Amino acid sequence: MDSGRAAPRVGALGPHHRGRVAEILGATGAFTASEIDVALELFDSAIRSTESYELIGVFDGAGALRGYACWGPTPGTDRGYDLYWIAVDPAAHGRGWGSTLMRAVEDRLRERDARLLVVETSSRSSYGTTRLFYERRGYVERARVRGFYAEGDDRVIFTKKLKAGAGEEARHE
């Protein structure tokens, strides 16, 4: 079995992964240069302290970083969190790396008794597969802010309930 097909392993990221994260973000073709700059600022912040942002990566059997996720608590909410970034090297798409990352983030948040995960993305056509990715994993589009990023580029907000409220079963809403 080649290293690209080996079972994914989720693990911590260190400062030495910054260049590879930048490569992955650039390779997707979905992010603008300014978006990549923001992602790297969050990466740097998470490396310095996990107080606001956290990171995990998904690695192939040879230990190569194939994707990463960045999330953090949403200030002023009751156990709410935001997923800021999730990206997988396009050469590894369709192999479950993104799903592995998403499950790992959700599992870590459930362990902390998180209640809700919020994901914001773009309505640009280049983000079509991204929106479908979230929907297939139980995320529901809750809001759309027309023309938020630019004319014709809406902010699309998805949520997933991670923790059941009193007398309520956990379900994907």
Confidence (pLDDT) at 169: 42
Give the C-alpha separation, 158 to 32, whole Å. Answer: 21
Could you give all domains of the chain from N- to C-terminal order, each with its CATH number?
A: 9-115 (3.40.630.30)
Number of C-alpha atoms within 13 angstroms, CB side, residue 102? 19
Q: Are 22 and 73 in contact (CB under 8 A)?
A: no
Alpha helices in the chain (DSSP H): 18-28, 33-48, 97-111, 128-136
Q: What are 31's two structure tokens? A: 């992010």
Give the C-alpha separation, 144 to 157, whole Å. Answer: 6
* pLDDT tens-place string over residues 55-76: 999 999 999 999 999 999 999 9
* pLDDT tens-place string over residues 145-163: 999 999 999 999 999 999 7
SS3 of 57, please?
A: strand
Of 41, 37, 28, the residue nearest 88 (C-alpha): 28
Confidence (pLDDT) at 80: 97
pLDDT band at residue 164 under the 50/70/90 scheme? low
Specify the amino acid at residue 15. P
Mean of per-residue pLDDT scores for the chain: 91
- Whole-structure pTM value: 0.88
* pLDDT tens-place string over residues 96-135: 999 999 999 999 999 999 999 999 999 999 899 999 999 9
